[in-house]
Amino acid sequence: MEALLFNVDGGFLEGTVRGYKAGILTQSHYANLTQCESLEDFRTQLSATDYGNFLANEPLPISTATIADKATQILVDQFKYLRNNAVEPLSKFLDYVTYAYMIDNVILLITGTLHERDTHELIERCHPLGIFESMPALCVASNVEELYQSVLVETPLAPYFRDCLSASDLDDLNIEIIRNTVYKAYLEDFYAYCGSLGGPTADVMQRILSFEADRRTINLTINSFNTELSKEERANLFPAIGRLFPEGNNQLAKADEIDQVRLVCENVGEYRQFFADAGVSSANGPGDEDSSVLSRLEDRFFQMEVHLNKMAFLQQFQYGVFFAYMKLKEQEIRNITWIAECIAQNAKDRIQDFIPIF
Amino acid sequence: MSDDYPSLLRSEQMSLVRLYVPTEVAHDTVAELGELGDVQFKDLNPNVNPFQRSFVGEIRRIDEMSRRVRFFATQIEQEKDVVPIRPLYDSAPVITVGPRAPQTMDELDVTLAAHEQRLTQMNESYQKLSERTKELIEARHVLRETAVFFDKAQDHQTDIRTSFDDSAAPLLQHDDRENQYSAGAGAQFDLEFVAGTIERVRVPTFERVLWRVLRGNLYMNHTDIAEPFVDPVTGVETRKNVFIIFAHGDALLAKIRKVAESMGATLYPIDANADKRSESFREVEGRLEDLQNVLYNTGASRRTELITIGENLRSWQDVVRKEKLIYETLNLFKYDAGQKTLTAEGWVPTRDITMIQLALRHAAEESGTSVAAVLDELRTQKTPPTFNRTNKFTEGFQTIMDSYGVACYQEVNPGLFAVITFPFLFAVMFGDIGHGFIIFTAALYMILAERKLARADLGEISGQFFYGRYIILLMGLFSMYTGLMYNDIFSKSLHIWHSAWDFPSNGTDTKVTGIDNGHRYPFGLDPGWHGADNNLVFVNSYKMKMSVVLGVIHMTFALCLQLPNHLKFKRSIDVWANFIPQMIFLQSIFGYLVICILYKWSIDWSTASTQPPSLLNMLISMFLSPGKVDPSEQLYAGQPFVQVLLLLLAAICVPWLLITKPYIAWKEMHKIQEQGYVSIRGDGDGNGVHRDSSDEALEGEEEGNGQAMVEAADDSENEHHDFGEVVIHQIIHTIEFCLGCISHTASYLRLWALSLAHAQLSEVLWSMTLESWLEPTGVFGWIMLIVMGVFWFVLTVFILCIMEGLSAFLHALRLHWVEANSKHFEGGGLAFTPLTFANPDLKE
């Protein structure tokens, strides 16, 4: 059925996004980039890719921040092009993609205000896709109720915040809780929306979102060890979707150490490798073991995410490609920023620690 | 086919040359060769990263310089008053060759950097000043608007005072603290407020957020500021509003201020006291005036700077572009650190080698060293690029053919014949003396004013017409000729000689039959046909047959062009297996038709014993019922026999075409396999060249250049000819040709259709506009004649000459590309793209 009618509304944009995807840097590009001696070489090398002359008009010494900004700007322009050409239901779908950025921005602003940072500086640091017009007014609010009543009520995020109105004061822990509650609500809502779209979109997107939910659950569990967060509260923050849901989530809610998390993950085939060689390193003494496991875990998560997003491109007539493209491109921006940073700080030994996409 | 004189028939003979360039003259040599524009360099380091090449440092420096030049260009562009830019041909050239070249580049670099620094500085101060001015202007607006508001409020003063009496006391207290925002000075009314400006698009959001934050406890008023604020750097316009918000209580005011600031609003301290307000208004006015003076001065000096830059901008752009090209070319060279020489390989026209050698020597002299670059000619198997030397006359025609496909190296070039056939086929469709004359004069004007127009920027569309001016000239000329043949001038006919028809007027009868008076109109169509009832019947039949005749002649000619190709490339098989059967096939069906047409024209059917036969039916029945011809429609004696014979000939040609070549290829392959060889690389001619080249390689090695020939032979494209490929190719070719003959002949009928449409359209235009006003009576008649005359002329130019002309042009193009080129053109060549400094988009 999708094959019959999908291209009426979505064909052009799917073609466009697949064209964009063809411009994602490949292994050989990365191989060239990592050989660069200076950021100028880096610029020359990037100008041979789809990035083109995006840095040509920057005065010399280029900072890594500029590179990241300009690269993000390209992504944002592409997304806006897609969004402006989209019609229902794709436009709604793309809006959902921006909600994640909006949540991040809201949390960033609240945290920043809490620590009495300059509002304008904060706004500059916000992701351009997540900016909404009444956003600056967030800095006035001093508690969640006010936050919700004054600003968020008219944004699409309003329903997600409804669940966390009870948290009264804004402090760091509460903000973390708010962030996770909101994100949980967002993921569940997005998951349901993709389900309502049905067809291959639902298949592809629910796979990606399930992983995202599981990732959050695992991260939450590990990060909440030895903190004030009670196990009950922790359980409330777990998204009610994903492959670990429900019994995995139940076990994670009760977990006290990493080994328990590993046991839960072993129940899912794809997740088994996350902790695959954790046992080997545990011999090296308990102190730095945890942190190394965690950083490796983080990398594995990213690899898994990239893998899932790449898989999204294998199926046609579905909206997953739009989401996947955004995520892949973000990973690419992280990669080139990482490489640029390594070049700038002359840390060549760590330059290979990026996550290749194609 | 002499090689002494450049001809357009075949592309220029090319040689692969190797240059040994001493490092110190490398730059000047490339500069000289770039001016010459005759060498296409090959990349000798395809495996090297762009940033690992030898001259990447220089390129980076040039990039930085070109960034600066671009910065100047955008700055000049953004300036509202046009800054004059001196064109390149007026500017003094910056000399970047010779011994002083490095200094010149250094100086240029320094100059550019200095200019950039000055300009950025001025921009900054200009921006700062405009920012301040903007703020003052906004403050003035706020003061003015709030004054209006307060004046209005004055009337309701008493009401307000009574209703807010209770809260007056606490307000007075903190008034001392925050004097600037609030005013409670007794005489006025007592309410605190915040005033400022905000972008207009944000007003609704601002209002909404405030309403929610303060839970409705506010009174807000805003008015538009009429004139937009222009950002001095980006030139973006923003429109702003003045707002004034009244609220009650310290905390609320603080909140308002915070929201306003975070929404990008600017707040201004306004006093509620009317005297103080007018005082600060005066103060603002005064400061604004001062600032505007300073701003004007800064702007003026910035402009002076831009004008200085504008004088040199073009030459800088030119230098930077050339230098970048030079270093990019140098990066293609192989750098040998030990011998301090660069090795370059490239294609050059064989004829120009002496000229290039002269240029090399000249470059060495210029740079002040005695060592010139050495040029070696290499023999190779690689296919050289195709280079057709054109001049301004042939350029247009060659481009028409090149846009279809670039001819193979030394293949017969259809562009040469297009010089005549193209305008001719166009003219067949566009035959009208008057219209032809109009486009002829237009082209003549463009040619006479060539020098002037070439410099001016014509824009894309008129630039195209200018580029094709010689094509248009010939098209106009040929149209006048065919117009004479059709005897059409603006849909009227010329009556030069004595017509063959008399029209005796017999009084009342409206229908007059022409009587042949024995004269023959010597040239073109008899004007007696003009206006005759059966004019269309006659002209249609004539033009239709004429297009078939022309079409078959054109296709036959195009087919014949195969022959020189086959002979040149020594493919005798193709002559027997392709050319001859194709020719027989075409001639036995359509050649026969043409002869029949001509024969039918030569017979006086009014005195003949039989009826004139329909040639179309004849051709159809030749296929459907061979050997049978209705005696009443017989054209000549023995017709059935001749037709059967021709049909058999054509029928034989199909399997001949289909089988011969694959069979020979198969036999060849078999022979080689029987001899025990596995290779299928036995084209006969390939071997000879190969042997030559290896000899040449030995010679090359004797001259002392080690790795000379080996790689040149190595990466030559060995096209692998499979037997299956030959079969499939031949099947496709046969089907295409046989079906193509029929459809292409039919396709030439467009000549008839378009010329008919053209004639009819011009006639309609004439009769609808001018004809009825030709005999003016009274003033009104004269006015209408003039109005209609102008109207008719404008429509003639735009519809008949330009629109119809374009359509005829496209059809002529198609006849050349599809109908003619498919008969002989291989078109698998690569165009010669020499390093040249001539800039196609110089006039940007």
Contact status, residue B91 vs residue B315, Cβ threshold 8 Å = yes
Task: For residue A194, give the nearest of A208, A205, A185, A183 by alpha carbon.
Answer: A205
For B70, the closest chain A residue by CA position comes to: A57
Q: Which residue has the higher pLDDT, B330 or B507?
A: B330
Cross-chain Cβ contact B208/A154 below 8 Å = yes
> pLDDT digits over B665-724, tens only?
888 888 887 777 655 444 444 444 444 444 444 444 444 444 334 344 444 344 445 778
Q: Which residue has the higher pLDDT, B235 or A13?
A: A13
Structure tokens at B283: 């103060």
Range with the largest mean pLDDT of B57-71, B88-102, B366-380, B681-695 = B57-71
Structure tokens at A120: 């304008």
Cross-chain Cβ contact B262/A134 below 8 Å = no
Residue written as tokens 């698998």?
B828
Q: What is the pLDDT of residue B704?
A: 41
Cross-chain Cβ contact B50/A48 below 8 Å = yes
Cross-chain Cβ contact B202/A149 below 8 Å = no
**Backbone dihedral region for residue B794 (phi beyond 0: left; psi -120 to 50: alpha; all else: beta):** alpha
Per-residue pLDDT band for B69 (boundaries 50, 70, 90) equals confident
Provide the CB-side half-sphere exposure for B683 (13 A, CA).
18
At B195 the three-state DSSP class reads strand
> pLDDT digits over A337-347, tens only?
999 999 888 88
When mean pLDDT is compared across A188-202, A313-327, B95-109, B499-513, the lowest value belongs to B499-513
Cross-chain Cβ contact B67/A57 below 8 Å = yes
- Cβ contacts below 8 Å, chain A against chain B, sum to 57
> How many Cβ atoms sit within 10 Å of the Cβ of residue B689?
12
Q: Under 8 Å CB-to-CB from B52, ≥6 apart: which residues? A: A35
> pLDDT digits over B522-577, tens only?
888 888 888 888 888 989 999 999 999 999 999 999 999 999 999 988 888 889 88
Cross-chain Cβ contact A40/B60 below 8 Å = yes
User: Above 80 in pLDDT, residue B198?
Assistant: yes
Contact status, residue B253 vs residue B192, Cβ threshold 8 Å = yes
Quote the pTM value. Answer: 0.69
Is the link from the previous residue into B228 a cis peptide, with omega within 30 of 0? no
Say how far apart CA B681 and CA B688 lie, in whole Å.
12
At B19 the three-state DSSP class reads strand
For residue A53, the chain B residues in CB contact (below 8 A) are: none
Per-residue pLDDT band for B232 (boundaries 50, 70, 90) equals low
DSSP for A78-110, written as a single string: HHHHHHHH--TTHHHHHHHHHHHHHHHHHHHHH
Chain A residues with CB-CB distance to B under 8 A?
32, 35-37, 40-41, 44-45, 48, 56-57, 59-60, 119-120, 123, 133-134, 136-137, 139-140, 146, 149-151, 153-154
Nearest to B259 among A45, A137, A154 (CB): A137
Q: Which residue has the higher pLDDT, B715 or A131?
A: A131
Q: How far is CA A148 from the centre of its chain?
A: 24
Mean pLDDT of A161-176: 74
Mean pLDDT of chain A: 84
Cross-chain Cβ contact B262/A139 below 8 Å = yes
For B202, the closest chain A residue by CA position comes to: A133
User: Above 60 in pLDDT, residue A61?
Assistant: yes
Beta bridge partners of B21: B342
Q: What is the pLDDT of residue B677?
A: 63
Structure tokens at B805: 């002309």
Q: Under 8 Å CB-to-CB from B51, ≥6 apart: which residues? A: A36, A37, A41, A44, A45
Minimal CA separation from A293 to chain B, in Å: 37
For residue B67, the chain A residues in CB contact (below 8 A) are: 56-57, 59
Beta bridge partners of B516: B501
Minimal CA separation from A302 to chain B, in Å: 30
Q: Under 8 Å CB-to-CB from B41, ≥6 apart: which residues? A: B329, B332, B333, B344, B345, B346, B835
> pLDDT digits over B124-174, tens only?
888 888 888 888 888 888 888 777 777 776 666 545 444 444 444 444 444
With pLDDT > 90 as the criterion, what percentage of chain B qualifies?
A: 22
Say how far apart CA A149 and CA A140 lie, in whole Å.
12
Per-residue pLDDT band for B233 (boundaries 50, 70, 90) equals low
Amino acid type, B123: N
Say how far apart CA B36 and CA B252 lie, in whole Å.
77
Structure tokens at B709: 């020939």
Say how far apart CA A77 and CA B4 lie, in whole Å.
58
Cross-chain Cβ contact A137/B202 below 8 Å = no
Cross-chain Cβ contact B209/A139 below 8 Å = no
Residue written as tokens 């330059």?
A351
Helix (H) or strand (E) holding B374: strand B374-378
Mean pLDDT of B430-434: 92
Per-residue pLDDT band for B793 (boundaries 50, 70, 90) equals very high
For B214, the closest chain A residue by CA position comes to: A150
Cross-chain Cβ contact A140/B262 below 8 Å = yes
When mean pLDDT is compared across A95-109, A266-280, B745-759, the lowest value belongs to A266-280
Say how far apart CA B818 and CA B802 lie, in whole Å.
24
Contact status, residue B220 vs residue B244, Cβ threshold 8 Å = yes
Task: For residue B398, give the nearest of B390, B387, B409, B410 by alpha carbon.
Answer: B390
Nearest to A32 among B49, B64, B212 (CB): B49
Contact status, residue A321 vs residue A18, Cβ threshold 8 Å = yes
Task: For residue B469, give the nearest of B394, B405, B389 by alpha carbon.
Answer: B394
Amino acid type, B521: Y
Dihedral sign, CA of B446, B450, B456, B459? Answer: positive
Residues in chain A: 358
When mean pLDDT is compared across B66-70, B304-308, B563-567, B719-723, the lowest value belongs to B719-723
Contact status, residue B342 vs residue B26, Cβ threshold 8 Å = yes
Nearest to A133 among B49, B205, B212 (CB): B205
Mean pLDDT of chain B: 81
Cross-chain Cβ contact A36/B51 below 8 Å = yes
Structure tokens at B723: 């037997």
Say how far apart CA B129 and CA B148 lie, in whole Å.
29
User: Above 70 in pLDDT, residue B5?
Assistant: no
Helical segments of B345-449, H only: 353-366, 394-402, 414-429, 433-448
Minimal CA separation from B209 to chain A, in Å: 6
When mean pLDDT is compared across A97-106, A214-223, A349-358, B170-179, the lowest value belongs to B170-179
User: Above 70 in pLDDT, residue A168?
Assistant: no
Q: What is the pLDDT of residue B275?
A: 79
Q: Under 8 Å CB-to-CB from B17, ≥6 apart: which residues? A: B39, B345, B346, B347, B348, B353, B356, B375, B376, B377, B378
Chain B residues with CB-CB distance to A under 8 A?
49-52, 56, 60, 63-64, 67, 70-71, 202, 205, 208-209, 212-213, 255, 258-259, 261-264
Cross-chain Cβ contact B212/A120 below 8 Å = no
Cross-chain Cβ contact B262/A32 below 8 Å = no
Amino acid type, B453: L
Mean pLDDT of B745-753: 94
Q: Under 8 Å CB-to-CB from A229, ≥6 apart: which residues? A: A173, A177
Mean pLDDT of B783-808: 92
Say how far apart CA A321 and CA A309 lie, in whole Å.
8
Nearest to A44 among B50, B212, B262 (CB): B50
User: Above 80 in pLDDT, residue A146?
Assistant: no
Tell me which of A109, A151, A152, A343 to substitute to probe the interface with B (most B C-beta atoms closer than 10 Å). A151
The strand ranges marked E within B492-638 are 501-502, 515-516
Q: Could you give the maximum distance between any two Cα atoms of chain A, in Å? A: 60
For B67, the closest chain A residue by CA position comes to: A57
For strands B191-199 and B182-183, give the pairing.
Answer: antiparallel
Q: Which residue has the higher pLDDT, A117 or B15?
A: B15
Q: Under 8 Å CB-to-CB from B229, ≥6 apart: which residues? A: B134, B137, B138, B237, B238, B239, B240
CA angle B715, B719, B725 (to 5 degrees): 160
Cross-chain Cβ contact B202/A150 below 8 Å = no
CA angle A251, A254, A257 (to 5 degrees): 100
Contact status, residue A128 vs residue A73, Cβ threshold 8 Å = yes
Nearest to A45 among B51, B205, B262 (CB): B51
Per-residue pLDDT band for B176 (boundaries 50, 70, 90) equals very low
Say how far apart CA A222 and CA B795 lie, in whole Å.
82
For residue A41, the chain B residues in CB contact (below 8 A) are: 51, 56
Contact status, residue B239 vs residue B224, Cβ threshold 8 Å = yes
Structure tokens at B34: 């770039």
Contact status, residue B591 vs residue B618, Cβ threshold 8 Å = no
Mean pLDDT of B247-260: 80
Contact status, residue B33 vs residue B39, Cβ threshold 8 Å = yes
Cross-chain Cβ contact A150/B212 below 8 Å = yes
Cross-chain Cβ contact B49/A35 below 8 Å = yes
For strands B334-336 and B237-238, give the pairing.
Answer: unpaired
DSSP B9: S
**Mind spelling out the 3-state secondary structure of B27-85?**
HHHHHHHHHHCCCEECCCCCCCCHHHCCCHHHHHHHHHHHHHHHHHHHHHHHCCCCCCC
Mean pLDDT of B392-420: 89
Q: What is the pLDDT of residue B128?
A: 86
